[in-house]
Amino acid sequence: MSGYLGGLLAMLAINIIVAYAVYVPASAGLLNLGAAGFVLVGAYTAGALTSLYEVPLAPALMAGVSMAALVAFLVSFPILRTRGIYMVLATFAFAEVVGGVLLNIPALGGAAGLSVMAYAGLPVVLPCALGTILFVAWLMHTRFGLSVRAVHDDESVANLFGVHLRMTQVVAFTVGGAIGGLGGGLLVHQFNFIDVQSTGVMFSIYVLLYVLMGGTQTVWGPLFGALFFTLVPEALRKLSTLDPMLKSLEGGRYMVFGIAVVLLMMWRPQGVITRTLVESLLPGRRARSKS
């Protein structure tokens, strides 16, 4: 496998993981614009352990996941006191605070970023992405997943039926933070470097778009969003290099991509992959509808 294809697959796998970090809270009605904060916590925790203390990769990744989960749990209480646009701003502010703190720690590279020697590679990254998909799919089919769906659809009705709103949202936010920490730990060890600038506000916006465009109603929405946002811009870039006549795509691919996203959101404002779409594709569902 070429280095280019391997790098693309690794980036796709990490994007999928980080997309699910945003999806789990979003499935409980929590819009998170602070994904970069949890990614940075996981990346710098795992990266510091492998580079400064020579901890093996697997325990370092678990430490990054645990630290991101702890941070998510602690910040969930003040953040969940907000609603709507104020929650978006609160999560954004959290990511900025994390970035500001890391910039002022010289031992972790400061503004120059953190470099590590340990390398993850596709044999680690791809199984982690697959495991994340399977874990979230399982989670959403548990009793907790039913509670999350109820809270997402209508908090008042969910509360009347005995769903503990605050506990459900805290758990969803914590699980999302843990998954983000895993994505960050893999990111720094796949590319052997990370800095605050490359995982700033645009990073969080793109990840949120993965989920909103793919859809928050099913577990397959973030997967579609990550695939689309990762592969389509790269396909346009490669297409522009194949033929001189298509060279204009190199400069305009972001415009073409942006127009496609706007049209897609106009066509499917609830996301591409919806609950109704998934149910209509199931064989049992089609058979019942025909009968």
Report pLDDT for 289: 47
Dihedral of alpha carbons 147, 153, 159, 164, sign: positive
Asked if residue 120 has pLDDT above 70, the reply is yes
Q: CA-CA distance, 115 to 271, in Å (whole number)?
A: 37
pLDDT more than 90, % of the chain: 64
SS3 at position 191: helix
Asked if residue 170 has pLDDT above 70, the reply is yes
SS3 at position 98: helix
Confidence (pTM)? 0.92
Confidence of residue 285 (pLDDT cuts 50, 70, 90): low
Asked if residue 264 has pLDDT above 80, the reply is no
If you average pLDDT over every residue of the chain, what do you get? 89
Q: CA-CA distance, 98 to 282, in Å (whole number)?
A: 43
Asked if residue 279 has pLDDT above 60, the reply is yes
Between 129 and 284, residue with greater pLDDT: 129
Asked if residue 78 has pLDDT above 90, the reply is yes
What is the per-residue burial (b if ≥16 Cβ within 10 Å, else e) of 160-194?
eeebebeebbbbbbbbbbbbbbbbbbbbbbbbebb
Report pLDDT for 95: 95
Confidence of residue 1 (pLDDT cuts 50, 70, 90): low
Task: Please state whether 33 falls in left (phi above 0), alpha (psi between -120 and 50) or beta.
Answer: alpha
Q: CA-CA distance, 288 to 291, in Å (whole number)?
A: 5
